Amino acid sequence: MRSRALLFAALLCVAPAGLAAQGGEALRQAEAALVRGDAVSAKIALEHAASAGASAADLAALRGEAALMTGDMEEARKFLSPARLSGTYRVRGLRVLARLEQAEGNIPAAANALELALRAGGNKADIWTDVARLRYAAGNHAGAFDAIDYAAGLDDAGTGTLLYKAQLVRDGQGLRSSLPWFERAVELAPDDATALGEYAATLADMGRATDAVTVTRQILARDRRNPQAFFIQAVVAARAQKHGLARRLLSRAGDALENRPATLLVGGLLENRGGASRLATERLFDLFEIAPDVAAAELADALLVDGEGVELAARFEGDVAVRQASPALAWRLVRSAEQQGDVAGAATAFDTAAQWNWGGAVRRGSGAAIGRLAAASAASPGQIDTSTNYIRALVAGRQPARALEVARELGRRHPGNFDARLALGDAALASGNAAEAVEAYAAAAAIRRGPQLVRKLALAHLDNGNAMAAKAVLADYIREYPLDRDVPTFLGTLLVREGDAGGAAALLKATWPEARRDPLGLCRLAWAQLYAGDGEAALRNAQTAYRMQRSSLPAAMVLAAALEEAGGNADTVRALRAKAGDLSVDEALRPLFAL
């Protein structure tokens, strides 16, 4: 009898320990499921953990994370209060709470949760990465860079930290500068599909097609249906003019990426290049609704191929006059008018397109619009979207002094915000304060560089009397983004103006794939080649440009000069020059070299 009592007592001691072990294993299973993004399996494992006696504090953090993963905000909030998060998973729970607060738009509460996480967990890289993401989402872009720089310098910086650092470096410095950070992230986690995908995409955007495909194959070796890998391969194939292969690869990406802007753009490009312009138009219309600036030129091309010049004019004429556009879109409107046989309309469109400059399209602002935006800005002082719209309207309405006043105040309120810095640069440049514009544009470019911002920064340097700095900014961008075709054209134009025809011709030749669809680009290339001593190439390109755009005065004048240099027919040269009427050569060629 005594031995049975001792055995029962022993069982009482062992059973709780066994249950605790089971609870710990169930918690680990729940963690693994959450890492995979499998909230259902995580919830099942957590029920097992609860039955095995896991602490309420440990369960709260993971249950809250599972609920948030399924989008059940109300359920998540039941578990994710700082008071309940006191166990092993307190730091993790606080980080999830920060995500919940951010998702519901409560940025101060999210920041408070991360501050508590830092106090509980110390200066951990993953917490500081969360801080960086929160700051970026809140519009404090410069603060996000500071936070991720700090996180990446900590000893425990992992793949997530290094990957976000790489992405921000890619935005603020460029593709080439971001590569070492992507490589470090992949080295730490060679099986991480997200890190490998971002690395492959960056390689592809740099033109390193073979390396990009190699990395995508690494992804597909682990995940045979990974949509991002197939998408990147489709982009590489499309750039190599292998349109059939690109379409097949894009179809293998499946539905996961179907409605993303990049997928719609690539799909539209492929259909357009493959002769299915109607299908291309449908895809590009879908994209235009999401991202009009991205889709504009390609949609215009598809409409022109379909003979829909009227639709093109109706959709885009206002864009050239009112909002930012590209020279390519501006000249497509000229071709649209020509397609309709509208001689007067073509002349008007030509005049508008000729006014386009590299800082952006000609803008016109109405007094009524400015009044509405002024009222909205006064009602929400410091609100970034409202204020930047007001500043742009003031610049368009030729009220640069007031624009600069509003932009400076916005900059004081939001010193780390990209849009505030960009608006200040625009207002300062319009006001003739070139040095202030340089400072503002450079600060904006440190957050997110793009071709238009780089051109604006170069223009500000030129207005500030520093052509060397302008060329350096452009050359650095070209090094970082070797596939870009817009900035080399701008730099080539600048070199032509400075008399460096040889350097200009070399740069402008790199734009040839795009120039085939842009008569003005071909004219610019032909002019540089003519003065660099390559008369044969100049004549060939000038003839192509003239065939594409017979109404273009620059095309006529460049062809006349190239024919004259080649000893061509004098009557033809005179007829081409007569198109300019009383205009001098410099006046007729102004659209080519307007900065």
- Chain centroid to Cα 34, Å, comes to 30
104 within a domain of the structure (yes/no): yes
Question: Which tokens hold the place of 494?
Answer: 């600048």
Which of the listed residues 88, 122, 156 is the one where a domain comes to its end?
Answer: 122
Q: Which residue has the tokens 């002019």?
A: 527
At residue 20, does pLDDT exceed 80? no
How large a percentage of the chain has pLDDT more than 90?
Answer: 40
Return the closest-CA partner of residue 383 out of 420, 422, 408, 427.
Answer: 420
Identify the three-state secondary structure at position 360: strand
Runs of H (alpha helix) within 80-192: 90-103, 107-121, 125-137, 141-152, 159-172, 175-188
Return the closest-CA partner of residue 117 out of 128, 108, 107.
Answer: 128
pLDDT attached to residue 265? 61
**Where is pLDDT greater, at 26 or 278?**
26
Contact present, 228 and 198 (Cβ < 8 Å): no
Distance CA 501, CA 485 (A): 18
Identify the three-state secondary structure at position 357: strand
pLDDT attached to residue 356? 46
Q: Region 558-581: what's the mean pLDDT?
A: 89
* Residue 572 to residues 528, 560, 567, 578, Cα–Cα distance (Å): 22, 8, 11, 10
Which of the listed residues 69, 103, 122 is the one where a domain comes to its end?
Answer: 122
298 within a domain of the structure (yes/no): yes
542 within a domain of the structure (yes/no): yes
Domain count, the chain: 3
- Residue 66, domain CATH: 1.25.40
Q: Which residue has the tokens 């900035």?
A: 487
137 within a domain of the structure (yes/no): no
Q: How confident is the model at residue 447 (pLDDT cuts 50, 70, 90)?
A: very high
584 within a domain of the structure (yes/no): yes
135 within a domain of the structure (yes/no): no
Q: Region 285-298: what's the mean pLDDT?
A: 58
Identify the three-state secondary structure at position 223: coil
Distance CA 86, CA 71 (A): 24
Q: Which region among 6-20, 29-43, 78-92 has the lowest average model confidence (pLDDT)?
A: 6-20
Q: Region 263-289: what's the mean pLDDT?
A: 58
Left (φ > 0), alpha (ψ -120 to 50) or beta: where does 481 sit? Answer: beta
Identify the three-state secondary structure at position 233: helix
pLDDT attached to residue 284? 59
Helix (H) or strand (E) holding 470: helix 467-480
Query: Hey, what amino acid is at 338?
Result: E
Distance CA 305, CA 491 (A): 31
Average confidence score pLDDT of the chain: 81
Identify the three-state secondary structure at position 417: coil
Q: Can you give the three-state secondary structure of 365-401, one letter per residue?
A: CCHHHHHHHHHHHHHCCCCHHHHHHHHHHHHHCCCHH
CB burial of residue 272 (10 Å; 0-12, 13-18, 19+): buried
pLDDT attached to residue 292? 58
- Residue 544, domain CATH: 1.25.40.10
316 within a domain of the structure (yes/no): yes
Q: Which region among 42-46, 123-127, 455-459 has the lowest average model confidence (pLDDT)?
A: 42-46
Helices and strands of the chain, counted as H and E runs: 36, 0
pLDDT attached to residue 201? 93
Query: Hey, what amino acid is at 109?
Result: A
Distance CA 22, CA 30 (A): 12
Which of the listed residues 122, 146, 181 is the one where a domain comes to its end?
Answer: 122
Contact present, 128 and 151 (Cβ < 8 Å): yes
Q: What's the domain range around 321?
A: 261-354
